[in-house]
Amino acid sequence: MKIGFIGLGNMGAPMAANLVKAGHEVTGFDVAGVTVEGAANAGSAAEAASGRDAVITMLPDGAILRAVYADIVPAGTKGAVFIDCSTVDVESARAAHDMAAAQGLLSVDAPVSGGVGGASAGTLTFMAGGSDESFARAAPLFEIMGQKAVHCGDAGAGQSAKICNNMLLGISMIGTCEAFALAEKLGLSAQSLFDVVSTSSGSCWSVNTYCPVPGIGPQSPADNGYKPGFAAELMLKDLKLSQQAAGSVSAQTPMGARATELYNQFVAGEGKGKDFSAMIERLR
C-alpha cells in the first residue's frame, strides 16, 4: 500500500518503520523534520496524504488533530482510509471522522496501548472506532504495527475505550503505590507483598507486570530509575481527557477525579520527566 504517515515522534517513527519493513511504500511528514529510514519525505502534511491508500496520524492533542485533518482531508484520495492513532478527546475524534466522511474517505480512530517499546516491537494494542468497512481496510496495517486490534464500535469508540482503560490504569497504579508504601512502613518486604498480591484478589497489571518497586516482578521503569516507559505527563493528559469525557455525559468518576488531582500535583512537582509509576516516591 501507499501510506502517508504524519507525526513521527517517539511513537510514530517506529510504527512507520515497521510499515516500511513490511514492504509498504511510506511517505512521512513531521513538523520537527524527523525522518524514518526507508520512507520518503514529504514537504507538508497535505503532500504526505495526497494519492495514498491509507493515511496514519499520530499527533499530540485534539486541537492539532482537527487542524491537521482540515489540511490533509481535502488532499485525500476518495476511498482511502484515514487512521488516527493519537490519544485525543472523543469530540475531536468524531469531528475528524465527520471531516473525512464529507470527502468520501473511510476513517478510524485507533489510539494505542503499549508505549514506545510496543511501537518498536510491533506489539501495540489498537482500540478502534469506525465503520466495519473502515476497520477492515485498516486491519492489515494494525497487524503489522501491533499484536491486537479491537473494533470497539462506531466513530469515537476507540478513544472512549482508551480513556476508560487509562483512567483505570491511573487509579490502579496509585493504589499499588499506596499498598507498597504502606507495606514498607509496616515492616513488610516488597517481595513478600508481591508474592501475595500477584496471586490474590489484589492482583492487577500495575502489580504483576509494572511493579513500581525496583527488583520486584518483571523488569519495569522502577528498575531503570523511573525513566519513562509511560511518562507521568502522558498519564495526566489521559486522566484529564477522562474527566472531560465524564463531564460531557454526567458520569460519576470520583476515583478518576482524585487520580487526576494527584497526578497533577506530581507532574507539577517531582514527577515531571519520570515514569507514572514513580508516584510511589511521592506517596512515600
* Residue positions annotated with a catalytic role: 162
246 sits in which H/E element: helix 232-248
Find all residues with CB under 8 Å of 16, minimum gap 6, and list them.
5, 8, 26, 28, 36, 39, 56
- Count of residues for the chain? 284
Cell numbers linked to 80 = 482511502
Torsion of CA 223, 233, 272, 217, to 10 degrees: -10
How does DSSP assign 100-136, residue by residue?
Answer: HHHTT-EEEE--EESHHHHHHHT-EEEEEES-HHHHH
